[in-house]
């Protein structure tokens, strides 16, 4: 079994929904990127837009997984003000040297997906094995399954299978939808 980690940040739950789909389809471990300060309400929304525009690096809570232990790290972000989120920017900066291969995905409401994916690629300093952009209406409208299938196939093609005698990966429990 390949070692794949899905690491993501989600403010509204949209990116979280896609991440759970990917964890299931890839038989991957899950790492929710968390930070020390909450982003609730209008103040959190405004702070998110400002940080994205300024390309801010913020303090994150420690990760629960050793990123270097994975063949592929799938990184997900919401698009904020046409950019990747500051928590994801910070995660990539903290772990880019440890990631063997990356796949990137973003969720967006109106615009900026291509720009956010390009920023993520530059920040990772490596070519992603796959990239995916999902509009928020498609995520909640149920159209994500067809779109994610090709992405999942590409990720699995680039993941090395674990040795046959290796113990299965422990999965974080999935929250109810």
Structural domain total, the chain: 1
Closest CA to 8 of 69, 70, 84, 81: 84
Q: Quick check: is 90 in a domain?
A: yes
Range of the domain at 36: 4-158
- 135 assigned to some structural domain: yes
Query: What is the per-residue pLDDT across 59-89, written as a single tens digit (0 to 9) for each?
Result: 888 888 999 999 999 999 999 888 899 999 9
Domain membership flag for residue 176 = no
Provide the CATH number for the domain around residue 125: 3.40.50.360
Q: Using one digit for the tens of pLDDT, what is the confidence trace for 33-55?
A: 998 887 777 777 777 777 777 68
169 lies in a domain? no
Contacts of 24 (CB under 8 A, 6+ apart): 174
pLDDT digits (tens, 9 = 90+) for 1-18: 459 999 999 988 899 999
Cα torsion 134, 139, 143, 146: sign: positive
Flag whether the pTM goes above 0.75: yes
Q: Does the residue 173 lie in any domain?
A: no
In a domain, 168, yes or no: no
CA distance 32 to 83: 19
């Amino acid at each position: 079994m390949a070692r794949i980690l899905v690491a993501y940040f989600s403010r509204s739950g949209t990116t979280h929904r896609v991440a759970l789909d990917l964890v299931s389809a890839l038989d991957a471990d899950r790492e929710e990127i968390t930070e020390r300060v909450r982003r609730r309400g209008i103040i959190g929304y405004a702070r998110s837009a400002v940080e994205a525009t300024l390309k801010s690096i913020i303090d994150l809570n420690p990760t629960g997984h050793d990123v270097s232990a994975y063949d592929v790290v799938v990184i997900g972000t919401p698009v904020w003000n046409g950019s990747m989120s500051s928590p994801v920017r910070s995660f990539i900066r903290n772990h880019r040297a440890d990631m063997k291969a990356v796949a990137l995905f973003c969720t967006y409401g109106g615009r900026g997906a291509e720009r956010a994916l390009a920023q993520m690629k530059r920040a990772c300093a490596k070519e992603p094995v796959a990239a995916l952009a999902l509009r928020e209406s498609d995520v909640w409208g149920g159209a994500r399954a067809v779109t994610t299938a090709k992405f999942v196939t590409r990720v699995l093609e680039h993941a090395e299978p674990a040795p046959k005698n290796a113990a299965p990966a422990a999965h974080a429990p999935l929250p109810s939808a």
